[in-house]
């Protein structure tokens, strides 16, 4: 046996080189969009107001100021409470959707998604109408709604669809054969639930817990509207930065906010990694059979939850239509004339549309092409690893923290990119970065599902990978591409947290305007603006569903057998 000859260096084709260049460009872009802003934020926490390095002094100041530290405790308190309520509620709801025979199942599923289309301040506004100082059921909760109770209820509304979506996915991957085996072995219903159903949904439950906890901790809109004197981390960041112009302390609070979110993210990823091949290709899907008692109970339960969700939305809609709450309850559209409460009038709404369309186009293109480059480039493992890491990072970073990082990075005097500051472009870039992970994952999953040998075949036929991308990979992944675009549009319409630091008077967004209007005491107009946002994003989503069913089906005739 001969000794191995010196290792070879595989030659690269023009396509290989271009793809590697693409991956490198992507890595730099993600570094600018995510890595460097976070780095600036981290660095800022170690500086005093004049930019001198002061070590951990800001952190000492933070932890020795009870007022600041208390909000961290408040944040944890309300996040834990909300998780404890939402996860079981969502589990039962998801269980009903997947394992019971419900009348109008599609309607229950649709209603459970409604909160996704609303900016987070909407449930806050609705609660003010219900339980506020002049609310319908004022005093019914035994105390003022402003504070812990208000945040909790509003967060339940806001987090419910996120938990339900995850749990529906977890519960719909069920293998009917396991249940048949358990039945054949004579296991009781309760035992089957604890030995088959619950273990299968275990990872989904952990995932839902982490997501809800993170959402509550990092959300800004609800706490701002209905938090009153109950300070939480998210409002503290805002106060430090906007109120007191104390950027260093804002950065410190941001880091404190980042810690639990990042931790929850890491736990979630570890758990996700374990959840492979739970469902084998040979599994038999479980189709629920009617059972009167169970179905009746779950229908009643779902109806109550759905009514609760619709009541909050309905109250916001109604409140937006009322002339002068609570003295003149006659209906009017006056509240929708935003020019009376905001100099921009409807301008902020059209800014939002422009921003959302921009983020959808720019973000989708970057996420899909980026995911494709990262999946299909041969070799270059180190750089691809960096891209993968940077693409996952945004999921762990709260919007407020990212937005704050953007101020420090893009507003730095020496940064040539500071021409972007206070433009529409920076809002688009920031939104794409904030929601990068989900889009990247969606694209990657779709790309992994298509035959890995397409590029090999193309190379053997001497066809460039770009041509195969345009003619084959992208068309096949069209449904995923549209999903990403819709996801970005809806989130861009509703987001408050990451853009609150980045808008200028000319680029003010509807969700931010609603917050400002509410701050000025114009609750009805704020509700009206929220309702416009809900209607826009829900309409876009509905259009997507309809198009998916009718138009996309025709475009993708090749899927038919």
Partner 1 sequence: MSYLEVRNLHKRFGDFVALGDISLDIAEGEFVCFLGPSGCGKTTLLRAIAGLDPQTAGTIRQKGRDVSVLPPAGRDFGIVFQSYALFPNLSVADNVGYGLVSRRFKRPEIANRVDELLRLVGLPDAGTKYPAQLSGGQQQRVALARALATSPSLLLLDEPLSALDARVRLRLRHEIKALQRRLGVTTIMVTHDQEEALTMADRIVVMNAGTIEQVGTPQEIYRQPATAFVADFVGSMNFLPGTLVAPDRVKVAGLAFACAPQDGLALGNKVQLCIRPEDVRVRDLSSDVANRVSVEVAELDFAGAFCRATLRVRTANEVTVNADFSSNLIRDLGVEPGRQLDIALPPDRLRVFAT
**Can you give the binding site for partner 1, defined by CB under 8 A?**
1-2, 4-13, 15-16, 451, 453-454, 456-464, 467, 471-472, 475-476, 556-561
If the CB atoms of residues 9 and 52 are measured against partner 1, the closer one turns out to be: 9
**Which residue in 360, 533, 354 sits closest to 435, CA to CA?**
360
- The least distance separating partner 1 from the CB of residue 478, rounded to whole angstroms, comes to 9
- The least distance separating partner 1 from the CB of residue 457, rounded to whole angstroms, comes to 5
Q: What 3-state class would DSSP assign to 198? A: helix
136 phi and psi, to 5 degrees? -60, -50
- The least distance separating partner 1 from the CB of residue 289, rounded to whole angstroms, comes to 32
**403, 509 Cβ separation under 8 angstroms:** no
- The least distance separating partner 1 from the CB of residue 23, rounded to whole angstroms, comes to 16
If the CB atoms of residues 24 and 463 are measured against partner 1, the closer one turns out to be: 463
Distance in angstroms (rounded) separating the CA atoms of residues 108 and 86: 17
Distance in angstroms (rounded) separating the CA atoms of residues 524 and 528: 6
Beta strands in 301-446 (DSSP E): 322-324, 328-331
Per DSSP, 4 falls in state: P
For residue 373, cis peptide bond before it (omega within 30 degrees of 0)? no
- The least distance separating partner 1 from the CB of residue 340, rounded to whole angstroms, comes to 53
Distance in angstroms (rounded) separating the CA atoms of residues 156 and 427: 28
- The least distance separating partner 1 from the CB of residue 473, rounded to whole angstroms, comes to 9
If the CB atoms of residues 244 and 456 are measured against partner 1, the closer one turns out to be: 456
If the CB atoms of residues 1 and 333 are measured against partner 1, the closer one turns out to be: 1
Name beta bridge partners: 175: 285
R_g of the chain computed on alpha carbons: 25
Distance in angstroms (rounded) separating the CA atoms of residues 139 and 9: 76
Q: What 3-state class would DSSP assign to 98? A: helix
**Which residue in 476, 382, 483 sits closest to 435, CA to CA?**
483
- The least distance separating partner 1 from the CB of residue 459, rounded to whole angstroms, comes to 4
- The least distance separating partner 1 from the CB of residue 483, rounded to whole angstroms, comes to 18
285 phi and psi, to 5 degrees? -60, 145
Cβ-Cβ contacts under 8 Å for 57 (sequence gap 6 or more): 48
- The least distance separating partner 1 from the CB of residue 152, rounded to whole angstroms, comes to 49
User: Please, is 456 exposed, middle or buried when counting C-beta atoms within 10 Å of its C-beta (0-12, 13-18, 19+)?
Assistant: exposed
Q: At what angle do helices 121-131 and 510-519 cross, to 10 degrees?
A: 30
Q: What 3-state class would DSSP assign to 501? A: coil
- The least distance separating partner 1 from the CB of residue 547, rounded to whole angstroms, comes to 18
**27, 36 Cβ separation under 8 angstroms:** no
- The least distance separating partner 1 from the CB of residue 375, rounded to whole angstroms, comes to 15
If the CB atoms of residues 13 and 244 are measured against partner 1, the closer one turns out to be: 13
If the CB atoms of residues 456 and 504 are measured against partner 1, the closer one turns out to be: 456
If the CB atoms of residues 326 and 379 are measured against partner 1, the closer one turns out to be: 379
If the CB atoms of residues 177 and 471 are measured against partner 1, the closer one turns out to be: 471
If the CB atoms of residues 6 and 414 are measured against partner 1, the closer one turns out to be: 6
Cβ-Cβ contacts under 8 Å for 238 (sequence gap 6 or more): 220, 224, 400, 500
If the CB atoms of residues 16 and 334 are measured against partner 1, the closer one turns out to be: 16
The residue behind tokens 């909050």 is: 312
Distance in angstroms (rounded) separating the CA atoms of residues 46 and 341: 40
If the CB atoms of residues 276 and 557 are measured against partner 1, the closer one turns out to be: 557
């Amino acid at each position: 046996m001969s000794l191995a000859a010196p290792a070879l260096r595989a030659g690269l084709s023009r396509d290989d080189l271009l793809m590697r260049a693409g991956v490198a460009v992507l890595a730099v872009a993600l570094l600018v969009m995510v890595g460097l802003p976070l780095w600036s934020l981290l660095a800022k926490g170690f500086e005093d107001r004049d930019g001198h390095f002061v070590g951990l002094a800001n952190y000492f100041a933070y932890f020795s100021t009870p007022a600041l530290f208390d909000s961290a405790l408040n944040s944890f308190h309300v996040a834990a409470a909300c998780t404890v309520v939402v996860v079981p509620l969502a589990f039962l709801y998801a269980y009903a959707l997947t394992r019971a025979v419900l009348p109008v199942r599609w309607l229950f599923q649709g209603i459970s998604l409604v909160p996704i289309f609303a900016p987070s301040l909407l449930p806050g506004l609705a609660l003010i109408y219900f339980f506020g100082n002049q609310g319908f059921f004022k005093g019914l909760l035994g105390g003022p709604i402003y504070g812990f109770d208000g945040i909790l209820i509003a967060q339940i509304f806001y987090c419910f669809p996120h938990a339900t979506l995850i749990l529906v996915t977890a519960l719909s991957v069920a293998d009917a054969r396991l249940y048949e085996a358990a039945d054949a072995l004579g296991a009781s219903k309760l035992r089957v639930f604890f030995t088959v159903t619950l273990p299968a949904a275990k990872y989904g439950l952990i995932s839902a817990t982490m997501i809800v906890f993170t959402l509550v901790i990092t959300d800004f809109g609800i706490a701002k509207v209905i938090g009153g004197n109950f300070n939480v981390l998210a409002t503290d960041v805002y106060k430090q930065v906007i109120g007191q112009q104390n950027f260093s302390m804002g950065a410190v609070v941001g880091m404190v906010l980042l810690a639990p979110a990042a931790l929850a993210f890491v736990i979630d990823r570890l758990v996700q990694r374990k959840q492979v091949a739970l469902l084998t290709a040979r599994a038999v899907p479980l189709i629920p059979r009617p059972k009167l008692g169970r179905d009746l109970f779950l229908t009643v339960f779902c109806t109550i939850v759905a009514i609760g969700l619709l009541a909050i939305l309905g109250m916001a809609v109604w409140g937006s239509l009322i002339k002068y709450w609570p003295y003149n309850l006659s209906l009017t559209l006056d509240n929708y004339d935003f020019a009376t409460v905001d100099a921009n009038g409807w301008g902020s709404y059209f800014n939002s549309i422009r921003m959302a369309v921009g983020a959808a186009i720019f973000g989708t293109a970057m996420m899909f092409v980026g995911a494709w480059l990262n999946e299909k480039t041969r070799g270059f493992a180190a750089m691809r690893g960096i891209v993968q890491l940077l693409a996952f990072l945004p999921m762990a970073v709260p919007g407020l923290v990212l937005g704050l990082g953007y101020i420090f990075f893009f507003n730095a005097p020496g940064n040539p990119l500071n021409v972007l500051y206070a433009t529409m472009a920076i809002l688009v870039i920031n939104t794409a970065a904030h929601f990068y992970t989900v889009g990247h994952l969606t694209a990657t999953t779709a790309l992994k599902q298509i035959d890995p040998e397409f590029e090999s075949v193309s190379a053997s036929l001497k066809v460039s990978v770009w041509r195969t991308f345009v003619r084959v990979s992208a068309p096949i992944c069209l449904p995923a591409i549209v999903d990403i675009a819709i996801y970005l549009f809806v989130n861009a319409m509703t987001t408050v947290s990451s853009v609150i630091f980045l808008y200028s008077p000319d680029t003010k967004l509807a969700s931010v305007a609603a917050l400002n209007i509410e701050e000025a005491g114009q609750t009805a107009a704020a509700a009206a603006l929220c309702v416009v946002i809900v209607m826009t994003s829900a309409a876009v989503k509905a259009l997507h569903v309809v198009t998916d069913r009718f138009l996309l089906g025709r475009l993708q005739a090749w899927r038919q057998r």
